[in-house]
A = this chain, B = another copy of it.
């Protein structure tokens, strides 16, 4: 078959290579897509940098990197229904078994047998890619292709924001990387009435402001817990959305949470931390939620509607666009923190 260019993790260790490989052939339940746009996730950076998590998690090498995309369907596997050649799609990256207790009870996103593109199997940093038909999300024509590429991480933000009450709430978002800033925009859209952000990076603090934050704080410059208590009549915020994975931010979040509040965690600390459960959770009557993935597919419907209705504008959040062969620039930028979402275009003339 014909060849295509792809960003491939060719060996265990830092880096990746842009190489020519065969265009894959879809299985009976898959579709083959032309990748119109793809975007870089923090997970991709971890795999690229080959950090400890990646060393333990990535089993298959060589492997095409990447999992966020917008693609055009070119070919259908033999058993595929409900998708047509020519459809423009995004994709859910958690592939669920469909048979386990979790799949059967509305939690397919944490399927006990789940696999992930670009982590457990070949990804989408390539000119063409395979997507299981069950995971292809056919797009409403009103949704822009660049926005479509970032619907997967946007879905993380939507999932976290909507994991409890948000309308009319005072919300603290700790950490304002790409998903953090999306969470700001979504929180605003959902009618939260005060949105506070803590973030160390100046570029990202500015993005947070543009995305709709009411108050953006630099934890290096002030005592953010005291400030948040002042801003909330001494009570604390109703909701914390943890997007940093940083132990300091997590502790500040707990300290700034009002009694009976919600603390939803999407950020992943890379090691254990000390927590005083009595003070932090029990006496505070707090609810702490671990979040990952996207509800399949409630979150996708909501995310799509936010975009197709024009209610949600990602323009301030997609900050950089490169050709696929410039992926190293994108990785460096992600590393620096001076960016929102970074897109890669495998077919730049498209």
A-side residues, CB < 8 A to B, are 81-82, 99, 101-102, 104-107, 109-110, 112, 158, 162, 166-168, 170, 189-191, 193-194, 214, 235, 245, 250, 258-260, 265-278, 280-293, 296-298, 300-303, 305-306, 308-309, 311
Contacts and interface: CB of A to CB of B under 8 A. Distances in A.
A168 B301 contact: yes
16 contacts: A104-B301, A109-B285, A110-B260, A110-B284, A167-B167, A167-B191, A168-B301, A190-B190, A191-B306, A193-B302, A250-B277, A273-B275, A274-B275, A281-B288, A282-B290, A287-B290
| Residue in A110, A194, A285, A292 whose Cβ sees the most chain B Cβ within 10 Å | A285
Q: Which of A110, A214, A308 has the most CB of B within 10 A?
A: A110
Contacts of A289: 281, 285-288
Most chain B Cβ neighbours within 10 Å, of A109, A276, A284, A308? A276
A166 B165 CA distance: 11
B311 A191 contact: yes
| Of A109, A190, A250, A259, most B-chain CB atoms within 10 Å | A259
Given A259-B112, A282-B292, A290-B282, A309 B272 contact: no
Given A110-B260, A167-B190, A306-B193, A278 B270 contact: yes
A98 B196 CA distance: 29
Contact of A278 (B81, B269, B305): B269
A282 B265 contact: yes
A285 B193 CA distance: 27
A142 to B, nearest CB: 11
* Copies of this chain in the oligomer: 4
B168 A297 contact: no
Contacts of A311: 191, 193
Contacts of A82: 99
Given A235-B112, A298-B105, A302-B168, A272 B276 contact: yes
B112 A99 contact: no
A106 B272 contact: no
A107 B282 CA distance: 14
Given A101-B235, A110-B260, A285-B292, 7 more contacts: A106-B106, A107-B260, A162-B168, A168-B305, A190-B191, A267-B282, A287-B290
A269 B277 contact: yes
B167 A105 contact: no
Looking at A235, A277, A283, which has the most chain B CB atoms within 10 Å of its CB? A277
A212 to B, nearest CB: 11
